[in-house]
Amino acid sequence: MKQTTLCYIEKDHKYLMLHRTKKENDMNKDKWIGIGGKFENGETPYDCVIREAYEETGLTLRSVSYRGIIYFRNSYYYDEDMHLFTCSDFSGTIKDCDEGTLEWIDIDDLYNLTLWDGDKIFLDALRRGDPFFYLTLNYEKDTLISHEIKYGDV
């Protein structure tokens, strides 16, 4: 099971999105995603999101909000537990990313992008300002077949 983080960095009602176009054999190829990646040994979710954001964007996150945990279950790809964050308090200058193109996208325009269907579910939860949630997304390869969301203590 892979442990990862994902962060939506926000500025002026826009999220910094990564268009994944540069990596070979990438399950996210040509999709738009937030910023994040895999845990390194000994990292907490907080440590990982701070490191990954800096490595991918050049930005230093000063304060992050822990918004939920997404359980990706897939019959084709690996299973993944992803820790979801948002951040609007950061510093630095955006740099080129070796995984794709970084672009500020208006939150109202996100659904015009090529996204995973499950991403739309947790993006809706973020937009609504939902409390901390646990979301299970069940995929068969690239097709979302079911989902379940729970709030608070589980």
DSSP 122-152: HHHHHHHT--SEEEEEEEETTEEEEEEEEES
pLDDT score at 1? 83
Contact yes or no for 106/14 (Cβ under 8 A): yes
Percentage above 90 pLDDT, the chain = 82
pTM of the shown model: 0.93
Give mean pLDDT, residues 15-19. Answer: 96
Residue 154 confidence (pLDDT) above 70: no
> Domain-by-domain residue ranges, the chain?
2-151
In 81-133, alpha helices (H): 117-128
pLDDT score at 76? 81
pLDDT score at 78? 81
Residue 75 confidence (pLDDT) above 90: no
CATH fold group of domain 2-151: Nucleoside Triphosphate Pyrophosphohydrolase (3.90.79)
Residue, of 25 and 64, whose pLDDT is higher: 64
Residue 101 confidence (pLDDT) above 80: yes
Alpha carbons 28 and 147: distance in angstroms, whole number: 19
Alpha carbons 138 and 141: distance in angstroms, whole number: 9
Q: Is 23 helix (H, G, I), strand (E, B) or coil?
A: coil
Residue, of 112 and 99, whose pLDDT is higher: 112
